[in-house]
Amino acid sequence: MNDNEQVSEHDEFMGDALEQARLARDAGEVPIGAVLVMGGQVVGCGFNRPISGVDPTAHAELVAIRDAATRLGNYRLIGSTLYVTIEPCLMCAGAFVHARIGTVVYGALEPRTGALVSTVRAAELPGHNHRVAVVGGVRSDECRALMQEFFRQRRGAKPDAVAAPGSGLQALGDGTGGDAVIERPRS
């Protein structure tokens, strides 16, 4: 597969993850979606559902992994690629190792809890008996925009809100210098 085919495949499957994220949004959950692919086919999908599932571990990535493992009858998902709209957290990164995910492709960075690039490079931690390849920034503008709009609506922010010190808006960067903002709850 050449680079153009790889980019096209990543775009296509990230589109599927974005569809899952929209389902999360429509269900009142934070709009993060994921699909798990093996052999060019989606074998698992999921969206964030910790609120509706009353399960703090029901992140989109874990829902997609559980779906794939159930469908395939195997908890080892060797050679698979997981597509997720937002950079995964440390809990999800640990699951990638245990499930033997081959590659994780994410859309937008998550500067507060992202654990593949932003806060820690979990895929590179010593002591793991499996390594996960990481590809970031696929359709990042769309992934970021979905999150931004969700939090604007949820918090009642105006569409043209600008991040100001102490405003509760957090930059969500993609590493290209074209950072955007999403609203974050205040602690």
User: Residues 128-186: pLDDT tens digits?
Assistant: 888 999 999 999 999 999 999 999 998 885 555 444 444 343 444 433 333 333 343 44
The reported pLDDT for the residue numbered 185 is: 43
Q: Say how far apart CA 168 and CA 172 lie, in whole Å.
A: 12
Q: Which of the residues 29, 61, 87, 110 is marked catalytic?
A: 61
Which is nearest to 84 in space by CA: 125, 46, 123? 46
Residue 126 makes CB contacts below 8 A (sequence gap 6+) with: none
pTM of the model: 0.81
Q: Are 137 and 174 in contact (CB under 8 A)?
A: yes
The reported pLDDT for the residue numbered 124 is: 82
**pLDDT, tens only, 68-113:** 999 999 999 999 999 999 999 999 999 999 999 999 999 999 999 9
**Does the pLDDT of residue 187 top 60, yes or no?**
no
**pLDDT, tens only, 107-127:** 999 999 999 999 999 888 888
Residue 61 a catalytic site member: yes
Which is nearest to 150 in space by CA: 58, 45, 55, 22? 22
The CA-based angle 167-29-141, given to 5 degrees, is 65
The reported pLDDT for the residue numbered 125 is: 81
Phi, psi of 25 (to 5 degrees): -55, -45
Beta strand pairing status for 33-38 and 81-86?
A: antiparallel
Q: Are 107 and 139 in contact (CB under 8 A)?
A: yes
Q: Are 26 and 15 in contact (CB under 8 A)?
A: no
Residue 139 makes CB contacts below 8 A (sequence gap 6+) with: 11, 14, 15, 18, 107
Q: Say how far apart CA 82 and CA 84 lie, in whole Å.
A: 6
**Does the pLDDT of residue 41 top 80, yes or no?**
yes
